[in-house]
Each structure stands twice: as structure tokens, then as C-alpha cells.
Structure 1
Amino acid sequence: MASSFRIGLGEDSHRTAAGGPLRIGGVDVPHDRQLVGHSDADVLLHAVTDAVLGAAALPDIGHMFPNTEEGNRNRDSADMLRRAYDSVVNHGYRLVNLDCVVSAERPKLGPHRDAIAARIAEILEVDATAVNVKAKTGEGLGEVGRGELISARCVALIEMM
């Protein structure tokens, strides 16, 4: 018998550039750099979106919101996540929980962790206890450690309704 639970993994990274603020998980974090991408480049919301889509065995964020469509330029990632999760729900699933990691050398995201988790829960209309966000640094190593990019990973657990 098939399990009613499914797991999905999402991952994303975006380069940084001068300017700010830095939008992570739907929260504008004060910083002198911002993420660069076709949409608003919210690396965490993109990882969450891919995680919930993957858990439901649906196509990824790039398929649902291609960067070849002008309508997706500067698109709000919260809107993309809402639409993706609506699709997951329409396929008969609901979110059990998310576990996310953001890797960024600067700014320190620990002080913003609760606000970021609360914003993701608000977007998905789930209890805040269903969303966990952790922050890591690159320890000065690689592109993350040099502050050239920020990456995010997320695991989503969903269950059949």
C-alpha cells in the first residue's frame, strides 16, 4: 500500500549585487546587497516552491514560471509560492512541515529567522510551527563565503488529504 506521505527537496541560489534590501523568505532584510534574478530572486521562497512541487511530483518552478515569459520578470516569489501550493492542494495534498536552510555569509540571518518562518507560514496559510528556517554561513569559503551568492535548501513533507 502506498504511503500517504511524500517528501520533496528544493534548492536554489542567486548571485548578489550592490543595492538592497535583501529579500529572503518574503522578508526584506536590511543589507547593502540584493539578490539578482529574473523574478524578485527570493532564493528561499524558490527553494520552498520547488520542495512542495517536488513532493507532489509536479513540475518545478522553472516549468511553472519560465524566465522566458516577460510576465515573470520581477514577479513576487510569494505569488509564485501561493500558486504552486494551490496546485499541490488541488492535487489532494496538504503541507505537514518545511525544514529550510539558507546559506549566506552576510547579513547574519539568525535575528530574522522567526520573521522569515512566520512570513512563509502566512503565505502558505499554515501554522507557524510547520515552518523551520535555519541560517548558515560559508565560513569564508567559496562563493557563499565570499558573499557572491546566497543559496537555500528546503525539504517539504506533505500528506494526502
Structure 2
Amino acid sequence: MENNTDNNSSNSPLLPFRVGMGYDVHKLVEGRDLILGGIKIDNDRGLLGHSDADVLIHAISDALLGAANMRDIGYHFPDTSDATLNMDSKIILRKVVDLIATKGYMVGNIDATVCAEHPKLNPHIPAMQECLAKVMGCDADAVSIKATTTEHLGFTGREEGISAYAVAMIIRK
């Protein structure tokens, strides 16, 4: 295989699958809804951000974009744009899936972890999986979501914010 330093060159071969990793974090504040995995979760605080601040969707979006070598969500959906102000992150995710499709890829599977001390997220995971699968056009079994705490350590442990990690495999159509 020829070594090509131009990652966006049309001469680069499309691999049958690629993997990307994403991470996001947002601060918890009063007066905002808590949206995670595309669903509203009853909580006294929500996440602060330019959009709806859904850290799970943002991490997944970055993982998908990274797998396709298409930069990150900040590049495609800048937090300085009026068009993205208060945007539903499900719209971002749908557009990301459309973007990776322009390079001949679709979602293979997602493995994500949300780090939060409170609220307990396990009861909400099936609804998140169904929601995200519908947005991405894949089977819910292809969307793994786990929840953990940081054992009261760091900003997450002090309940100052929530973070999420995601790994995505994209496959050639």
C-alpha cells in the first residue's frame, strides 16, 4: 500500500472499518435540563453548553468524526455560531452520520461510558440506546452505554460536571 501523507486524498484506500475515540465534559448548573443520550433525565441541574450540552452525544460524534478523519464537532458545529446555539445534539449526531457517509462509511458500533456521581443513569440506558440507535440508523444492540462514578474524586466526584468517553467503529458501506 502506498504511503500517502494527504489524509483527505481521494487516492487513499477506504479501509473496511476504522475506529475513533471521543471525549466530552460539561459543567453542571442550575436552570438547565439534563439531556444525556438524547433523552431528558429528571435532575435538579443540567449541563452548561452552547448547544443542549449532551456530553454523551458529543463524545460519540467526536468518535465517529475521528474514525473518518473528519476533525471534531467543534470544527463542524462551532460554539461561536448562532446556528448551533441551543441546538438539539441529536441533530448534530444525525449530521455527523451523514458526514461520515460522504466518505463511504456507516456506524458499525459504539461503546460509550458516562461518568457521573448523580443522578444514577443505569435505569435510563435502554432509552438512551434506543434513541441513539434511531438517530444513527443502526440497531440498538450496536450502541453500548455504560455508567460509572469516579468514587467522589475530581470534578465529577464533586458533582461539578459530567464527562463521557466513546469509541466508535465505522464500516464501509
Q: TM-score, normalised by structure 2?
A: 0.90
Cα offset for 1:28?
Answer: 0.4
Deviations 1:3-55 (A, max 9, x none): 41100001000000013531001010100010000111000000011111111
**Number of residue pairs matched?**
161
**What corresponds to 1:90 in structure 2?**
102
Match 1:13 to one of 14, 18, 25:
25
Equivalent residue runs for 1:65-104 within 5 Å = 65-104=77-116
Q: Which runs of 5+ in 2 are unaligned?
A: 2-12
Q: Does 1:112 align with 2:112?
A: no
Q: Which runs of 5+ in 1 are unaligned?
A: none
Deviations 1:121-153 (A, max 9, x none): 011111111100000012111100011010001
Q: TM-score, normalised by structure 1?
A: 0.96
Equivalent residue runs for 1:1-161 within 5 Å = 3-161=15-173
- Aligned letter for 2:96? A
Larger of the two Rg values belongs to structure:
2
Checking the alignment, whether the CA contact within 8 Å between 1:103 and 1:138 is kept in structure 2 is yes
Checking the alignment, whether the CA contact within 8 Å between 1:117 and 1:128 is kept in structure 2 is yes
Checking the alignment, whether the CA contact within 8 Å between 2:32 and 2:48 is kept in structure 1 is no
- Aligned letter for 1:104? A
Matches of 1:118 and 1:135, distance apart in 2: 16
Matches of 1:152 and 1:65, distance apart in 2: 18
Checking the alignment, whether the CA contact within 8 Å between 1:20 and 1:30 is kept in structure 2 is no
Q: Which runs of 4+ in 1 moved over 2 A?
A: none
Checking the alignment, whether the CA contact within 8 Å between 1:97 and 1:130 is kept in structure 2 is yes
- Aligned letter for 2:165? R
Paired residue secondary structure (2:135): helix
Alignment RMSD = 1.1
